[in-house]
Structure 1
Amino acid sequence: MAGRKPEWLKIKLDTGKNFKELKSMMRGQTLHTVCEEARCPNLYECWANRTATFMILGDTCTRACRFCAVKTGLPTELDLAEPERVAEATEQMGLRHVVVTSVARDDLGDGGASIFAETIRAIRRRTPLCSVEVLIPDFLGDWEALRVVMDAKPDILNHNVETVERLSDRVRSKAKYDRTMALLAEAKRMAPSIPTKSSIMIGVGETVDEIITTMDDLRRVDVDILTIGQYLQPTAKHLKVEKYYHPDEFAQLKEEGLARGFKHVESGPLVRSSYHAHEQVESAAESQMKTQG
């Protein structure tokens, strides 16, 4: 097991004016953010910069992944007015890039795909210049549900592999490594022009060789953007941290990813899937233009 949390994982708390305004807005719109529900270490930095990742379809997940702090159980909430409230909050915040994710809703016929699609459309109606990224569950391999989301034309389709193949069943609940790769491949087949993205959290017992193999698998299905971050144990009931990677190791993993052809790699101890999401989009677009040029 890893020892005490190292110095480079200390977080600066910023609860200034922007943070308080955004928190008040979220409460006023009765919206959930993954920033809070998953206890993201970048919550204060992102909220102070007036950015957030909206979590739709309620705050109760039908799965119980061993790394995730989001509440689990049988959801009772399905709010058809939620997409419009997310769009209104996006407009009020003046966002240029918004990330929309959700709990897993295996209790719903389409896994919540229709609500994702309507949220994309609602944001576009109110803020047509704002790019929209969706971080979706696997919909239990229902490609028709995936098509509903892809037909709404998000600017980025994100689905996280989370960990290496050997540890996938131990770390995740119901989600399968092969299904994740199949979903990312299918999303690219349905809409080749929409960038795809995935994330790996490290420190749960994987080897560097396994991380590299996961990168290769993601590139095989033409994933464009990769994020790599340190796993942090949210509560005593969750998986323990096996290793704290040094920032230099994250820098090396970034180089490995770029060498394999990802258009953008965000790699660092506090990196999470939607951290600096807008910068990731711009960097990937610049890389694409260079490739085409």
Structure 2
Amino acid sequence: MTVKPDWLRVKAPQWQRVGNVKEILRDLSLNTVCEEASCPNIGECFNAGTATFLIMGPACTRACPYCDIDFEKKPQALDPTEPTRLAQAVSRMRLNHVVITSVNRDDLEDGGASQFVRCIEAVRLQSPQTTIELLIPDLCGNWKALEIILQAQPEVLNHNTETVPRLYRRVRPQGNYERTIELLKRSREIEPRVYTKSGIMVGLGETDTEIRQVMEDLRGVDCDILTIGQYLQPTAKHLGVNEFIHPDRFAAWKAFGEEIGFLQVVSSPLTRSSYHAEQVRKLMELYPRTNGS
């Protein structure tokens, strides 16, 4: 495995704070993508008292070769108590902004849309001031399911592009680039008050030109927020890192993204899809969507 450069070192967390968050998660039997996907920022986020909740899991129905979430276990029936337990965690952690994501549940007719809605309703009941960001799968192109989710009006709808079209077959074999772009396009059309967001991994063999084209494609469907981060190989059995990208290139992509009209671009080696996601609250103050504009 290639040696990581200095700019990918993370600060040691304050384990007392991390332990408090883990205690809440274990007490309520909740999963987080922070743990299941081996996120390098787990210490920083747990230390700050935040987490990205992983619902309907931890078993996934897809086997993306870059992802550390388990796909070998059989998915279980949806737990009707999960939304309430998640809402209790949000309340106990006193979160101002919560990110809720899920494994792919291609075995479900609506891809899990109804469970996302139940989670939104439960969080709003217990923590009405908390803003909600959903990071959803592609729902196999079930646009009715997407409409169901958007009718619940999360503040942010996130769906990751992950990589450039040329690498989809290798990186995201069960995904479809055109379907991803279409999901983001339809999201803005169905509920224009909801901010749309997407994320890209780099270091898998893509070119700068390809990255910029993806960014332009996302702006072409009026995507508001973009995250760009370095892909890191979770284990030896996962896709290898083709290149560790220097921070200067991340800065250049951020500048380009702002130039072509993204409201917010978070671009750095350690950026992940929900990294510093709470910053969207400031964006909402600057660019309010109360009238659907």
Whether TM exceeds 0.5 here: the answer is yes
| Amino acid across the alignment from 1:149 | I
CA distance in structure 2 between the partners assigned to 1:168 and 1:217 by the alignment: 15
| Amino acid across the alignment from 2:182 | A
Point out where structure 1 has 5 or more consecutive residues left out of the alignment: none
CA distance in structure 2 between the partners assigned to 1:40 and 1:142 by the alignment: 29
Misfit runs of 4+, over 4 Å: none
Question: Residue in 1 aligned with 2:61?
Answer: 62
Question: Residue in 1 aligned with 2:173?
Answer: 173
CA distance in structure 2 between the partners assigned to 1:17 and 1:178 by the alignment: 44
Question: Residue in 2 aligned with 1:40?
Answer: 39
Alpha-carbon RMSD across the aligned residues, in angstroms, is 1.4
Q: Does 1:104 align with 2:104?
A: yes
Question: Residue in 1 aligned with 2:122?
Answer: 122
Identity score, percent: 49
Quote how far apart the aligned CAs of 1:69 are. 0.3
Range that drifts further, 70-79 or 213-222: 70-79
CA distance in structure 2 between the partners assigned to 1:259 and 1:287 by the alignment: 17
Question: Residue in 2 aligned with 1:49?
Answer: 48
* Length-normalised TM-score, structure 1: 0.96
Structure 1 residues 288 and 251: CA distance shift in structure 2, 3 A: farther
* Length-normalised TM-score, structure 2: 0.96
The count of corresponding residues between Structure 1 and Structure 2 is: 289
| Amino acid across the alignment from 2:44 | E
| Amino acid across the alignment from 1:122 | A
* Equivalences for residues 5-44 of structure 1 within 5 A: 5-44=4-43
CA distance in structure 1 between the partners assigned to 2:4 and 2:133 by the alignment: 32
Point out where structure 2 has 5 or more consecutive residues left out of the alignment: none
CA distance in structure 2 between the partners assigned to 1:129 and 1:3 by the alignment: 44
Q: Does 1:143 align with 2:152?
A: no
Cα pair 1:263 1:284 within 8 Å, conserved: no
SS at match of 1:197: strand
Cα pair 1:188 1:222 within 8 Å, conserved: yes
Quote how far apart the aligned CAs of 1:12 are. 1.7
SS at match of 2:182: helix
Quote how far apart the aligned CAs of 1:217 are. 0.4
Offset from partner CA, 1:12-59 (integer Å, 9 cap, x none)? 221422211110110010000000000111100000000000000010
CA distance in structure 1 between the partners assigned to 2:285 and 2:214 by the alignment: 23
Quote how far apart the aligned CAs of 1:200 are. 0.3
